[in-house]
Amino acid sequence: MLTPQEAAEETRSALEMRKRFAHDVNRRLHVPLAEQRAYGQRLQAALEEKNLGALAGEFVILVDRNANVQALFIYFRAMPDEPWLMIGASPVATGRPGEFDHFLTPLGVFEHTPLNMDFRAEGTMNQNNIRGYGRRDMRIYDFGWVDGERGWGKGGYSQMRFQMHATDPDRLEPLLGIRHSKGCVRIPATLNAFIDHYGVIDAEYQALIDAGKSLWVLHSDREITPWAGRFVVVVDSERKTRPAWSPAPGGKARAKVPAGADTAD
């Protein structure tokens, strides 16, 4: 248990990541303080549902899959009785229902573990000339097979492979902020690199490294944060209107949506 003074120092040090986020990530959302607090409360509620309400001392990624938001937030707190504090936020794209094999991005708490080993993008084009995982060497964060809500037919649930990854930097990244994946979470390339370089959710990967294992998926020049976490949490805020701090892509970006944009996962 940290003393109050130690907890304050942990918080001050961890919040230095805000500066790195602002420097490294080029697609950022400027979330008002009241909204930051509200999403921190949503994060806490989701964690409590999984008996993780005392989680602290590590970074956690939160995603709002709501069609009017489509945003990712990174949070931290030093002690369980403290509020969650936001490090940064970016636009994302989650599952777009309406066609066969298209899932709503699953809700819940997902552990990032080497049991479902990450891999890296080859940067090759698919049949629609789209780099579905983004440019070469982008990391694909793999959460394994989960129950996903089908967005076609009569609905219901079936297995889907849940991942978080970059997307085509030229044709699809400008569309982040609206739903257009088959169920995965698409994120900006610079956010992907930020999470990768600082090991934001790499606690279990780092445990293997500390035990003497060698993992090809981890770069040798990474700067693992002391507060590496393990969880991505997906919620739905059920907003009925679009908040000003999370603008949708403009008309020019939407007009350039390529064929098969929603099948690039």
How many angstroms from the chain centroid is the CA of residue 152?
A: 24
Is residue 29 scored above 90 in pLDDT? yes
Q: Which CATH architecture has domain 4-253?
A: Beta Barrel (2.40)
Tokens of 125: 């084009």
- In DSSP terms, which residues pair with 205 in a beta bridge? none
Distances (CA, A) of 145 to 75, 106, 111, 162: 25, 11, 12, 6
pLDDT digits (tens, 9 = 90+) for 242-253: 999 999 998 777
Is residue 112 scored above 70 in pLDDT? yes
| Distance of alpha carbon 47 from alpha carbon 142, whole angstroms | 20
| Distance of alpha carbon 36 from alpha carbon 241, whole angstroms | 18
pLDDT digits (tens, 9 = 90+) for 163-183: 999 999 988 999 999 999 999
| Distance of alpha carbon 44 from alpha carbon 46, whole angstroms | 5
Tokens of 98: 């309406």
For every residue of 32-84, DSSP letters joined together read -HHHHHHHHHHHHHHHHHTT-TT--SS-EEEEE--TTT-EEEEEE-SSTTSPP
pLDDT digits (tens, 9 = 90+) for 217-234: 999 999 999 999 999 999
**Percent of residues in the chain assigned helix, strand, coil, to nearest 5:** 25, 20, 55
Residue 128 — very low, low, confident or very high, per pLDDT cuts 50/70/90? confident
